[in-house]
């Protein structure tokens, strides 16, 4: 089974691209979704987060308080490393389980949808090809503000904390420039890229 690493900055449209690749028969493993599950009520990361960061970082229903954690990470960069030390090994374990399941089901290709593929330095060597979804920073800001309600400064802080567009493109085997595209145009691009990547 071939593995394709899919990445892109916040607001790039990576989830849309993942869905289009699924239309071509790829088994999609969404690292963000796995992470959200691990930090949801009853998630496997909650006890460790409570121990490391304190009960104030857990909501009354037992989930990670994402807003509080986001503010803490921006104010104290070392907090990100502490959180990643808890969550990332669990995400890797869950990802491997999903990949094993895809292999057993006979999938020809698995797409690993990993926002921090370039930043982590751990995933690039574990995939056969890397596909980057790219767009302008202005487009990222507009999309994230529209869906989340965050102000521009908050979105720009998130963008700045991620790998740069140039760093992601340098790691890519193929790039989708998703700026001003209609869904039909994006689907057409993905059809060509899917052939190139052997999907």
Share of the chain above pLDDT 90, in %: 62
Mean pLDDT, the chain, rounded, equals 91
Q: Which residue has the higher pLDDT, 106 or 120?
A: 106
Give the model confidence (pLDDT) of 103-115 as tens digits.
999 988 899 999 8
- Say how many C-beta atoms besides its own lie within 10 A of residue 42's C-beta: 10
pTM value?
Answer: 0.85
Distance of CA 98 to the CA centre of its chain: 16
The mean pLDDT value for 136-150 works out to 92
The mean pLDDT value for 31-51 works out to 95
Distance CA 97, CA 44 (A): 15
Q: What is the pLDDT of residue 100?
A: 94
The mean pLDDT value for 149-175 works out to 91
What is the distance in angstroms between the CA of the first residue and the CA of the last residue of the chain? 11
Share of the chain above pLDDT 70, in %: 98
Q: What is the pLDDT of residue 198?
A: 66
């Amino acid at each position: 089974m071939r593995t394709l690493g899919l990445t892109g900055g916040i607001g790039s449209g990576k989830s849309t691209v993942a869905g289009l690749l699924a239309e071509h028969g790829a088994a999609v493993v969404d690292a963000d979704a796995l992470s959200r599950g691990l930090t949801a009520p009853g998630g496997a990361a909650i006890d460790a987060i409570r121990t490391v960061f304190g009960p104030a970082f857990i909501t009354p229903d037992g989930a990670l308080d994402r807003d509080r954690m986001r503010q803490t990470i921006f104010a104290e960069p070392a907090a990100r490393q502490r959180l990643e030390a808890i969550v990332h090994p669990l995400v890797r374990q869950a990802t491997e389980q999903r990949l094993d399941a895809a292999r057993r089901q006979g999938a020809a290709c698995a797409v690993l949808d990993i926002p921090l593929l370039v930043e982590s330095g751990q995933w690039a060597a574990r995939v056969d090809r890397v596909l980057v979804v790219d767009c302008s920073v202005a487009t990222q800001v507009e999309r994230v503000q529209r869906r989340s309600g965050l102000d521009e400064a908050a979105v720009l802080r998130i963008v700045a904390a991620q790998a740069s567009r140039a760093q992601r493109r340098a790691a890519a085997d193929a790039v989708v420039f998703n700026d001003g595209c209609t869904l039909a145009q994006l689907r057409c691009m993905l059809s060509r890229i899917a052939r190139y990547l052997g999907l």
